[in-house]
Amino acid sequence: MDAEAAAGAPADFDATFRAHYWPMVRSLTVACGDREVAADAVQDAFTRAYARWRRIARYDDPAGWVRHVALNRIRDHYRKSERGRRAVDRLGSQTEHTVAGPEPAGDVVPLLATLPAQQRTAMSLFYVEQCSVREISHAMKITEGAVKYHLHAGRSTLKGLVDAP
């Protein structure tokens, strides 16, 4: 705490970090399928928030800002990965590109991976981190109606798969 006070950081950054770090990592791990990518994204988002904490601390939902930044980081990560994969394909490399999958923890995760990214993100934030529709809309920068649509579509898709024996 002394080091933090010396650095001039607001006191509630630590509380925000402790309250939201692991829920974010867990939900984004389910969303993206890679725990390391999710943890890096959340840590990077908290790092950015720490540098701007004097301003972000005045927000209504500072954790929402962090969640939004982390989602963008994950999106950028997979966008770069996709560009790299396409570049390798263009070069004619025959090496098979493998993406680290999610940790084997349940049957629903492979099913979740079949959903579009928006639905997968909304589902993971809603069911894992237990975010509200408003928080999800803030994190994904879409309207609450769009969040409800994605949740409804993902839920309808997974319903038959989960119910199947």
Partner 1 sequence: MSIEFDDDFGFDPIDSRLSTQLRAAAPEAGDADAVLTAMRPRLVRARRRRQAGIVAVGAAALACIAGLAFAVTDAAPKTSVNVPPADRSTPAPGPNSTTAIDETTATTAEATKDASSDDATTDDKKPPTTSAPETSGSTAGSGSQSSGSSGSGSDDSPEDVGDDKGGTSGSSGSSGSGGSDGSESSGSGKDGSPED
Query: Residues in the site for partner 1, rule: CB under 8 A?
Result: 3-4, 7-9, 14, 17-18, 21-23, 25-27, 29-30, 35, 43, 46-48, 50-52, 102-103, 105-109, 112, 123-124, 126-128, 130, 132-133, 147-148, 151-152, 155, 158-159, 162-163
> Smallest distance, Å, CB 82 to partner 1?
24
What does the buried/exposed string (b/e) look like for 101-119 if buried means 16 or more CB atoms within 10 Å of the residue's CB?
A: ebeeeeeebebbeebeebb
> Smallest distance, Å, CB 90 to partner 1?
35
Cβ proximity to partner 1: between 15 and 88 the closer is 15
> Smallest distance, Å, CB 71 to partner 1?
16
Cβ proximity to partner 1: between 77 and 148 the closer is 148
What tokens does 44 get?
A: 């990077």
What tokens does 100 get?
A: 């680290």
> Smallest distance, Å, CB 107 to partner 1?
7
Cβ proximity to partner 1: between 57 and 108 the closer is 108
What tokens does 11 get?
A: 């006191």
> Smallest distance, Å, CB 162 to partner 1?
6
Q: State the CB neighbour count (10 A cutoff) for residue 77.
A: 17
**Angle 32-34-36 (CA atoms, 0-180°, nearest 5)?**
125
Q: Which of 149, 158, 53 is nearest to 111 (CA)?
A: 158
Cβ proximity to partner 1: between 93 and 143 the closer is 143
Q: State the CB neighbour count (10 A cutoff) for residue 97.
A: 12
